Every structure is written in structure tokens, then in C-alpha cells.
């Protein structure tokens, strides 16, 4: 008897009648709606613009927010900047030992260069 009930619950839609077909369609629609809603919400959060970072004034902690730049490399950027002066252009970041073209490319939309304002 249990096998008959299981089979009845898992019929192909063409074999279903009335209410059971409608329940299947309704459940499928609800699941699809939930999945699409999750995708839209995820993309909205994902697409949120990350803040730009001025590599001439950023702290080590701020620099470590860049992709591929951890605390050690952030410290190297600050040390390089202190020893060599401000960066003239964002691309100059690759002059820091250990920071290569891949790291620059991954962050080029977030990196800005502004001179320090004297107070």
C-alpha cells in the first residue's frame, strides 16, 4: 500500500489529474520564484560598489582591503610610499616589491592617487 501511495505522489505530470497537477505546478513556481529572488538579492549585494582607496593616504588596514593584499603587503606599500614619496599614478603600485600586474589589475577600479593635502 505504501508503495502505491509513493508512486501516486511521484507521477509524471501528464498522468496527474486536477488538484495534484496544480499543486505540483504551484510548488514548482514557488521554488523558482524563491531561487530567482535569491539570485536578484545576491547580485544586488555583489554589485555594490566597493570604496576607492587612495594609495597615497591609505593606512595599512585600508590597503589590506584590496584583493590579494594582506597585512604584510599593505605594510610593504606603506613602507615603499614613506621611502619613495607619493605614487604619481595608480599603476606605480606595481613598483612595490611583491605587488605585481595581477594584483594591480584586480584592483585598478578601486585604486586612486591623490596628493596629500597639507594642513
For 64-78, give the DSSP string: TTSTT--HHHHHHHH
pLDDT by residue (tens digit) across 28-65? 888 878 877 777 776 655 556 788 999 999 999 999 99
Tell me the average pLDDT of the chain. Answer: 82
41 and 60 inside one domain: no
Residue 20 is assigned to a structural domain of this protein: yes
86 and 108 inside one domain: yes
Residue 119 is assigned to a structural domain of this protein: no
Give the structural domain span for 9: 2-46
100 three-class SS: coil
66 and 108 inside one domain: yes
73 and 107 inside one domain: yes
Q: Higher pLDDT residue, 1 or 80?
A: 80
Count of residues for the chain?
119
103 and 69 inside one domain: yes
Overall number of domains in the chain: 2
pTM: 0.58
Amino acid at each position: 500500500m505504501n508503495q502505491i501511495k509513493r508512486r501516486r505522489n511521484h507521477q509524471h505530470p501528464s498522468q496527474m489529474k486536477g488538484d495534484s497537477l496544480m499543486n505540483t505546478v504551484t510548488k514548482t513556481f514557488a521554488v523558482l520564484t524563491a531561487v530567482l529572488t535569491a539570485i536578484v538579492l545576491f547580485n544586488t549585494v555583489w554589485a555594490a560598489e566597493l570604496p576607492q582607496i587612495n594609495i597615497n593616504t591609505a593606512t595599512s588596514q585600508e590597503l589590506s582591503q584590496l584583493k590579494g593584499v594582506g597585512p604584510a603587503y599593505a605594510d610593504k606599500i606603506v613602507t615603499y610610499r614613506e621611502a619613495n614619496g607619493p605614487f604619481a599614478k595608480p599603476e606605480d603600485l606595481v613598483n612595490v616589491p611583491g605587488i605585481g600586474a595581477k594584483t594591480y589589475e584586480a584592483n585598478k577600479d578601486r585604486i586612486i592617487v591623490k596628493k596629500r593635502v597639507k594642513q
